[in-house]
A and B are shown apart, each in its own frame.
Chain A
Amino acid sequence: MVILWTDGLIFTLVLAIAISVGMMLRKPHFKRPLAKITQSKTSMVSLVILLCFAGVGLLDSVHYKDSRTGEIISLLDHVAKPLTEQTERTYSAPFSAYLYSKEMIIHDDGREKWDYPRLKYGAAHLDNPAQQKWPDILSKAAIGLGKGVLLALLLYLVFWMIRGRKSAEPYRPASKAALLTLFAIISLFYMLAYLSHWYHVLGTDKVGEDVFYQTLKSIRTGLVIGTLTTLMMLPLAIGFGIMAGFFRGWVDDVIQFIYTTLNSIPGVLLIAASILMVQVYMANHPEQFASVLIRADMRLLFLCLILGVTSWTGLCRMLRAETLKVREMEFVQAAESLGVTRPTILIRHILPNVMHIVLISVVLDFSSLVLAEAVLSYINIGVDPTTYSWGNMINGARLEMARDPVVWWPLSAAFLFMFTLVLAANLFADTVRNAFDPRRAEHG
């Protein structure tokens, strides 16, 4: 069991979320919005999707040293071992039995022919792909789907066992939708997984790695960027924001000065410089970064850090403004007249009343961060080129789009997954905002 930096942080984050949700469930002023969220179909569906992504991400965050190769791999790698091992020479289309580029084939009889060679693994079990392929795919898909459905039903049974007693009447329609999505996802995913034993369901990339595997791996990167960054920035934003708003005077001036300075530096330059810095550090301390994975992980973490540093100012400003409002509220004055000390007032009166802003902005930032990762990777100041990420995939895809015939699947795959994640995140964020933002309580 190896725990990388990001892994550790992710698990702490998960823990934190679990706890805070638990606490929120007890607080009625959270209960209402939460109820609102759980009642909306879209939010529940997107939540389920997000959770599924998160599941994959977590699976990919449990690392251990593989006894055989001594490489550090994650559970996901373990599950997807066949995918990692079945690498072709180069591109091949989804479900294809042939390589995507012609090359010299030397037949057994020594004849040489310039043609598309068969794949080493993809559809290798067929001896005459031309006729057999599609029937085979369909049948296998059917089997896979069937198994998937069974699995899903099984899960349902367990699920029902657990919470069947206290049936959640009010949430009926939404939870039904959620369960349906879950059902669909599980069975479809299982089908794909099943098929990928025989085929490259999303094709292979330039060096013949399975694109399906890459996209799965990319999920973790996206999630880490989206979540850890906020984790990094929250303390800064909340601390400074509230203090500036509450104490005003010189404290306010100093904090404002700090974030104006940070804001006025073009973010890209800041990020670029910092990333360079990490590389220098790694170059000077190679012993600490024994394996590619660790190096990449370090860089990823640092990227989150620096993104956090560049992005806390926005939230900070909002919190400051809100605090300025809240501190004028009469209950704060009442507390003062009751002789409550200022720190207590900060914690007990100010913080809880600005928390909804934090929540909203966190959820909103998530998607934009996931998108930002892609852009940064394009300018080579994103994640380490050896880490799987949608950004890197898109980056490669630029070249592939120039080919003729076009290599469309890596781009499409990245697009599909990224789009699903971000869309889900956005929809969810919307409902969260509508639920928690007092101003938007009335209209959608």
Chain B
Amino acid sequence: MAEPLLQVKNLSVSFQQDTVVDAIDFDIYGGESFALVGESGSGKSITALSVLRLLPNNANIQADSIALKGQNMLTIPEIDFCRWRGRRIGLIFQDPMSSLNPVMTIGAQIAEVIRLHFTLKPADIEQRVLELLQQVEIPAPERRMQEYPHQLSGGLRQRVMIAIALAGRPELLIADEPTTALDVTIQAQVLALLKKIQQQTGMALWLISHDLALVSNMADRIAVMEKGVIVETAPSTAFFKQPKHPYSRKLLAALPDIRHCLGKTATPSTPLLQVNDFKVWYPIHKGLFKRVVDHVRAVDGVSFSLQQGKTLALVGESGCGKTTLGKALLNLVPATGGRVWFDGVDLGQLSDEALRRKRAEIQMIFQDPFAAMNPRMLIADIIAEGLQALRPEISAEQRRQKVLHLLEQVELPASSAIRYPHEFSGGQRQRICIARALAVSPKLIICDEPTSALDVSVQAQILRLLQDLQQQQRLSYLFITHDLAVVGEIADEVAVIYQGKIVEMGAARQVLTAPQHPYTQTLLKAVPELKVT
């Protein structure tokens, strides 16, 4: 085999005591696309950054050699090495918003790289910038050049990032979770672009991701990382056929799959929640006296009904209003119009107090388990809070019992009752949130992207837990998500939301297998399929 482009031998990175990357070796060959896969905290990003020496000073890097084209980078003094960054190795970061300088026009930010590494006349530089923008397929590049990052959409920003990375004509392009922050459809486009560019320029692509499905479409070779160690390296075809290492298998097994929806059978049942022409509008103020000139129609005339013990998945991309809808149903956001019947009662008619109690039968599980719990409170108090508020009559002892019971239900040790949120992992926290929701024995739980912040393996567990609970206590879920795979796993019915309106609704298998509406179709197309050939 040819001499590798990048050769990493026995690389370890440690902060103070704890070692995050532990003596890993891997090679990347010219022109190939190499994927480093692992769950969050496995140290994959650290590896990339350490290669580029972008870690903060308190990081301690050790390695036998990190060689680019056989040239050992470790012995190069900083002053020379910074000429390599961007020139020979390009880097794309996860979050395009924060990775771009907010007060510089994107043109300037790209030009900077060129000016840094090539000696060109200003006119040529501008020319080059244009080329790059065209290369990353940004419409109307002349205009965009003059704009600031905040004026661009997420997808465009990521394209700009790519342009910046490409500006130095690097031999190796490192893409660190390049699409995680993007919507499915955009994600697909960006990935396609990356692929294309790689073929054009023939540079090597080092992809860092947690998403096996995505990787399966992109990578030639795959390395799986667990807790700072590379457990398996293999050509992707071989890998997906049959992974050797148990961890790899676990990962694969955990992957959600749309096709599970095929197993679902629709058993009719009584409607629990009925929403009719539901609206949430935000006024836009203008002028001297702040007149309302127009509205942002976050949720615009949505109607659907959810049946007892069933799961309705609200699918849509970010900003389509699905989360707003959820919060509005909980009255966390004032609704502008429409009516809501909750098991037979018109919530609109209830007095505030009655409403408060009734609403408690609808609970919510939030996206970010870290923000969803008051870090200053004990788990026991967090879970018991709802009880205290709604049923002050029950005694402290009973409450304690209830809490322990709930913990048991969500498969957490009783000991966790007297601990604080920060002591738990993401998955455990999500369980606690579920327990909190269950505490007031609701009929309906609104799950707002409950798993999108979690790793695949954990995600699977949570989904299973939710399903079990549904079995046990005939809960209904309003499941808000952008991830169709997850929908396939859990939903009985699916409603696709686009720009505040439901464009398609129906039984899961029907919507997912035979989508009617073009938008749904594009969505489904965009979902990265696990390629097993």
A contacts B directly (C-beta below 8 A): yes
Q: Which residues of A contact B433 (CB under 8 A)?
A: 334
Is B404 in contact with chain A by the CB < 8 A criterion?
no
Contact with B along A338-370 (1 / 0, CB 8 A): 111100100011001100000000000000000
Contact (A339, B360) CB under 8 Å given A29-B420, A333-B332: yes
* B389 near A337: Cβ-Cβ < 8 Å: no
B292 at the binding interface (Cβ < 8 Å): no
Asked if A160 is an interface residue, CB under 8 A from chain B, the answer is no
> Is B372 a contact partner of A339 (Cβ separation < 8 A)?
no
A353 CA to B373 CA, complexed, in Å: 12
Q: Mark B419-434, 1 if CB is under 8 A from A, else 0.
A: 0101000000000010
* A331 with B372: CB separation less than 8 A: yes
Q: Which residue of A lies closest to B362 (CB)?
A: A337
- With a 10 A CB-CB cut-off, give which of B327, B357, B372, B420 has the most chain A CB atoms: B372
Residue numbers in A under 8 Å from B362 (CB-CB): 337
Asked whether A29 and B376 contact (CB < 8 A) given A333-B332, A339-B389, A341-B389, the answer is yes
Contact flag A339-B376 (CB < 8 Å), given A329-B371, A330-B366, A334-B436 = no
A27 within 8 A of B: yes
Contact of B363 with A337 in the complex, beta carbons under 8 Å: yes
Question: Provided the pairs A29-B420, A336-B332 are in contact, do residues A348 and B377 lie with their beta carbons within 8 angstroms?
Answer: yes
Q: Would A28 and B363 count as touching, CB distance under 8 A? A: no
B377-406 CB contacts (< 8 Å) to partner A: 377, 385-386, 388-390
Asked if B163 lies at the interface with its beta carbon under 8 angstroms from chain A, I say no
Q: Name the one of A28, A336, A341, A349 contacting B374, with C-beta atoms under 8 angstroms.
A: A349
Whether A334 lies near B359 (C-beta < 8 A) is no
Does B39 make an interface contact (CB < 8 A)? no
Nearest-Cβ distance from residue A276 to partner chain B, whole angstroms = 43
A27 and B389 alpha carbons, distance in the complex (Å) = 23
User: CA–CA, A29 to B373, complex, Å?
Assistant: 14
Q: List B contacts of A344 (CB < 8 A).
A: 389
Nearest chain-A residue to B372 (Cβ)? A330
Contact A330 B371 (CB under 8 A): yes
Give CA–CA (A270, B331) in the complex, Å: 46
Query: Which B residue sits closest to A349, measured CB to CB?
Result: B374
Q: Which residue of B lies closest to A331 (CB)?
A: B374
A331 with B356: CB separation less than 8 A: no
B330 at the interface (CB under 8 A from A): yes
Query: Once bound together, how far apart are the Cα atoms of A339 and B356, in whole Å?
Result: 6
Does A335 touch B at the CB level, under 8 Å?
yes
Distance A352 CA – B375 CA, assembled complex (angstroms): 9
Residue B529 CB within 8 A of the other chain = no
Say yes or no for B255: interface residue by CB 8 A criterion.
Answer: no
Given contacts A339-B359, A344-B389, contact A333 B327 (CB under 8 A): yes
Asked if B368 is at the interface of the complex by the 8 Å CB criterion, the answer is: yes
B419 nearest CB neighbor, chain A only: A28
Interface size on B, as a range, is 20 to 34
Asked whether A334 lies within 8 Å of B366 as measured between CB atoms, the reply is yes
Indicate if the CB atoms of A340 and B376 lie closer than 8 Å: no
Residues of B within 8 A of A341 (CB): 389
Bitwise interface map of B from 339 to 373 toward A, beta carbon under 8 Å scored 1, else 0: 00000000000000000110110111011100111
Give CA–CA (A348, B385) in the complex, Å: 10
Cα separation A408 to B81 with both chains bound (whole Å) = 57
Report the bound CA distance from A78 to B374 in whole Å.
52
Q: Choose among B371, B386, B390, B440 the residue that contacts A331 (Cβ–Cβ < 8 A).
A: B371
User: Within the assembled complex, what's the spacing in Å between the Cα atoms of A334 and B363?
Assistant: 8
Complex Cα spacing A385 to B375, Å: 49
User: Which residue of chain A is the closest to B358 with respect to CB atoms?
Assistant: A339
For A27, A338, A340, A349, the residue with the greatest tally of chain B CB atoms inside 10 Å of its CB is A338
Residues of A within 8 A of B356 (CB): 339
Residue of B whose beta carbon sits closest to that of A28: B420
User: Known interface pairs A337-B362, A338-B436. Does A353 touch B385 (Cβ–Cβ under 8 Å)?
Assistant: no
B422: chain A residues at CB < 8 Å are: 29
Chain A residues in 8 Å Cβ range of B440: 338-339
Q: Which A residue's beta carbon lies closest to that of B433? A: A334
Q: With A29-B420, A29-B422, A333-B332 given, is the CB distance from A340 to B389 under 8 Å?
A: yes
How far, in Å, is A247 (CB) from chain B's closest CB?
Answer: 15
A337-B332 contact, Cβ under 8 Å, with A29-B376, A330-B372: yes
The smallest beta-carbon distance between A251 and chain B, in angstroms, is 18
Q: Which residue of A lies closest to B422 (CB)?
A: A29
Q: Which residue of the partner chain B has the closest CB to A27?
A: B376
Which chain A residue shows the least CB distance to B330?
A337
Q: How far is the CB of B240 from chain A (nearest CB, A)?
A: 37
Residue of A nearest to B376 (CB): A352
Shortest CB–CB separation between residue A438 and chain B, in angstroms? Answer: 10
> Is the Cβ of B372 less than 8 Å from the Cβ of A337?
no
Question: How far is the CB of A435 from the nearest CB of chain B, in Å?
Answer: 15
User: A341–B366 Cα gap in the complex (Å)?
Assistant: 20
Inter-chain CA distance A331–B371, complex, in Å, is 6
Residues on the B chain within 8 Å of A336, using CB:
330, 332
Given A331-B373, A348-B377, A340–B385 Cβ distance below 8 Å?
A: yes
- Closest Cβ of chain B to A111, distance in Å, is 77
Roughly how many angstroms separate A4 CA and B357 CA in the complex, as a whole number?
53
| Bound-complex Cα distance A297 to B357 (A) | 55
- Is the pair A352, B374 in contact by a Cβ cutoff of 8 Å? yes
Least CB distance, B294 to chain A, in whole angstroms = 22
Report the minimum CB–CB distance from A305 to chain B (whole Å).
32
Q: How far is the CA of A373 from the CA of B359 in the complex (A)?
A: 55
**Of all chain A residues, which has the CB nearest B374?**
A331
Complex-state Cα separation, A59 to B507, whole angstroms: 79
A28 to B372, CA, bound (A): 19
Q: Which residue of A lies closest to B333 (CB)?
A: A333
Smallest CB–CB gap between A239 and chain B, Å? 19
Q: Which residue of A lies closest to B364 (CB)?
A: A337
Tell me which of A27, A29, A331, A353 has the highest count of chain B C-beta atoms within 10 A of its own C-beta: A331
Q: Chain B's nearest CB lies how many Å from the CB of A35?
A: 14
Give residues of chain A (309-348) contacting chain B, Cβ–Cβ below 8 Å. Answer: 329-331, 333-341, 344, 348
Q: Flag if A339 contacts B366 (CB, 8 Å).
A: no
* CB atoms of B373 and A338 under 8 A apart: no
State whether B359 touches A337 (Cβ < 8 A): yes
Assembly CA distance A348 to B356 (angstroms): 19
Max chain B C-beta neighbours (<10 A), residue from A329, A339, A341, A344:
A339
The residue that A353 contacts in the complex, of B331, B368, B376, B390, with Cβ under 8 A, is B376
Q: Given A338-B386, A339-B360, decide whether A353 and B374 contact each other with a Cβ distance below 8 A.
A: yes
Given the complex, which residues of B lie within 8 Å of A333, measured CB to CB? Answer: 327, 330, 332, 364, 366
| A-chain residues with CB within 8 Å of residue B385 when the two chains form the complex | 335, 338, 340, 348
* Nearest chain A residue, comparing its CB with the CB of B388: A340
* Assembly CA distance A333 to B420 (angstroms): 19
Closest A-chain residue to B332, C-beta based? A333
Chain A positions 259-311 with a Cβ under 8 Å from a chain B Cβ: none
A329 → chain B, closest Cβ, in Å? Answer: 5
- A212 and B359 CA atoms in complex are apart in Å by 69
Nearest Cβ on chain B to A46's Cβ, whole angstroms: 25
Pick the most buried of B356, B372, B385, B388: most chain A CB atoms within 10 A of its CB. Answer: B385
In angstroms, Cα B448 to Cα A334, docked, is: 12
Complex Cα distance, B357 from A337, in Å, reads 10
Question: In the complex, A353 Cα to B388 Cα: how many Å?
Answer: 21
Contact B420 A338 (CB under 8 A): no
Report how far A202 CA is from B222 CA in the complex, Å.
Answer: 77
Residues of B within 8 A of A331 (CB): 371-374
Q: Mark A163-199, 1 if CB is under 8 A from B, else 0.
A: 0000000000000000000000000000000000000
9 A–B contacts from the bound complex (CB under 8 Å): A330-B372, A331-B374, A334-B364, A334-B433, A336-B330, A337-B363, A338-B363, A352-B374, A352-B377
Known: A29-B376, A334-B433, A348-B377. 9 other contacts (CB 8 A): A330-B366, A331-B374, A333-B327, A337-B359, A338-B360, A338-B436, A340-B385, A352-B374, A352-B377
Interface residues of A (CB under 8 A from B): 27-29, 329-331, 333-341, 344, 348-349, 352-353
Interchain residue pairs A-B with the least CB separation, the first 8: A338-B386, A352-B376, A330-B366, A330-B372, A340-B389, A331-B374, A330-B371, A339-B360
Q: Which residues of B contact A (CB under 8 A)?
A: 327, 330-332, 356-357, 359-360, 362-364, 366-368, 371-377, 385-386, 388-390, 420, 422, 433, 436, 440
